[in-house]
Amino acid sequence: MPLPRALAAVCAVVLAGALLGAPPASAAPVPDGPGRGLLPAYLGAPATPRPLPGTPVPANPYQGPVGWSSMHADSHASDTYPFLGPLGRNPSVVSEAKGGGLPGLCSTVTFARRTGLIVAQCTRGQEFTLRLIDPATLKDLATFPLPPRPSTVQAVFGLDLDKVLTDTSGGAYYYLDPQDRAVVADAAFHVRRFAHERGPDGAWRFRVTDDWDLRGYLPHACPTWTNPWPKGECDPITAVGPDWTGLIWWITKRGRIGTIEPATGRIKAIRLDGEGVQNSFAAARSGVSIVSDHALYQLRAAPDGTPAILWRRPYDRGSGRKVGQLDQGSGTTPTFFGDGLVAITDNADDRMHVLVHRASDGREVCRVPVFASGRSATDNSLIGYGNSLFVENNHGYRNFFELPPGGSSTGGVSRVDVRADGCRVAWTSAERSPSTVAKASVPAGLVYLYTKEPRRDLIDAWYLTAVDAHTGRTVFKVLTGTGKWFDNNWAPITLGPDGTAYVGVLGGLVAVRDRP
């Protein structure tokens, strides 16, 4: 039975305020949580750069520069950057927050080459918001509201927070094209392209340059506040990205895959029957790699733009969803790396495995189990560069609501090397990075984590942590803040071209940068 209207309205206000934030007020520093004065602000010592071996990630000609233009840094989803991150040299922390509740968490941070500004997708109120941000001050220069997700309505009327906290649709997986335009798939089944520019009054603004309506190709009987129990199917768009021919690819939560020809607006689509897609995808010259909750796929568009499956490789999806994953299946976006390789993790019950395949034909190159028996799960993309992969253990973390004060995840970060005789775990760090999308700086040779150690005093202490990619040794840690405001709840670390590390947290963006 539907909730009474009054109760539903109260729940909607409470849920939207608690989960996604309230409308913005004046800018203010992120408030300190309890116990900050009892904690070291810095641990370790400055890093000496030692570059990672390997060939630079190639640039997709239809996406912005490598490291500037998407959640996973590039079209290969390598999660690596061709520029330095913080080296721990007298680091400073700059935070931003908006009053009136949680201001919203930035799921993706990208950088416009021509203007030097941040383009980010963040939650605010009941809506996703596209933000144009000054990278030095973290203040908004322009915003553009995106439609609210149906999962918010489902969560309220079904009294199920998991509906929101496991929903990756609505615009998080967007990208910047070579003209610095954000290509975003929103919760209203539109793919839109946004330019940012100064208006006649000198103020910045977003302008929609293109709008492709996919409602004729996707079921869109989605819950709304006035009709929370619609008849029919609702299949939100999860991610968009370009292939190397210029087609815009899109995928949906229920396994639909399609393309848009930007010049003509032609749309073609197929469906993976009985399979869902929770993560983004990767694109290389060889094709597009997508992982469903059942199998890894390699696809390429037919001459008319229809996605064509080149190969399919099932994996061990386990017997259920683990604590530390958003669904039952691989938690990774596929990663292209090395000499024509593509990698994911499985969801095997005892120990998950890193799986490496040839992108050309899907042949399995190697697999290796990671982390402890009964204590392994990840819902973040692998870092891939050269012949090495880096995998983070998210086992034990579900969401910021359920993480107890002073609690953390099981922990562990491993480097897996692919060699002629198979895969080998080169090292495992004990650092606990509960849910962030970890990143690596190629010239620095550092892997950046967002860590939280369990504490008996119940203080929630969050650190930007740099680990030596060669040895697994922790190099330095910078305290960003304490308390729930600093939980990143699955948001990524992003390295900026000026060497700043950004982290999306519940209290707003946090920036860590070296002082001169």
Phi, psi (degrees; rounded to nearest 5) at 235: -130, 85
Helix (H, G, I), strand (E, B) or coil at 12: helix
Please report the pLDDT score of residue 23 as a whole number: 32
Burial 338-370 (b: 16+ CB within 10 A, else e): beebbbbbbbbeeebbbbbbbbeebeebbbbbb
Tokens encoding 295:
């199998």
In sequence order, what DSSP letters do the residues of 423-476 get, joined into one string?
EEEEEEE-----S-B-EEETTTTEEEEEE----TT---EEEEEEEETTT--EEE
Please report the pLDDT score of residue 485 as a whole number: 86
| Cβ–Cβ < 8 Å for 297, 309 | yes
Please state, in angstroms and rounded to a whole number, the distance separating the CA atoms of residues 140 and 138. 7
Tens digit of each residue's pLDDT, the chain (516 residues): 343 333 333 333 334 343 333 333 223 343 456 677 789 999 999 999 999 999 999 999 999 999 999 999 999 999 999 999 999 999 999 988 543 445 578 999 999 999 999 999 998 656 789 999 999 999 999 999 999 888 788 878 877 776 776 677 778 899 999 999 999 999 999 999 999 999 999 999 999 999 999 999 999 988 888 888 999 999 999 999 999 999 999 999 999 999 999 999 999 999 999 999 989 999 999 999 999 999 999 999 999 999 999 999 999 999 999 988 888 999 999 999 999 999 999 999 999 999 999 999 999 999 999 999 999 999 999 999 999 999 999 999 988 888 999 999 999 999 999 999 999 999 999 999 999 999 999 999 999 999 999 999 999 999 999 999 999 999 999 999 999 889 999 999 999 999 999 999 988 899 999 998
CATH label of the domain that carries residue 356: 2.130.10.10
- Written in H, E and C, the secondary structure of 172-209 is CECEECCCCCEEEECCCCEEEEEEEEECCCCCEEEEEE
The residue range of the domain holding 161 is 5-514
Phi, psi (degrees; rounded to nearest 5) at 66: -55, 130
Burial zone of 181 (CB within 10 Å; 0-12 exposed, 13-18 middle, 19+ buried): buried
Q: Give which of 378, 451, 460, 390 is closest to 418, Cα–Cα.
A: 390
Please report the pLDDT score of residue 30 as a whole number: 38
State how many domains the chain has.
1
Please state, in angstroms and rounded to a whole number, the distance separating the CA atoms of residues 122 and 129. 5
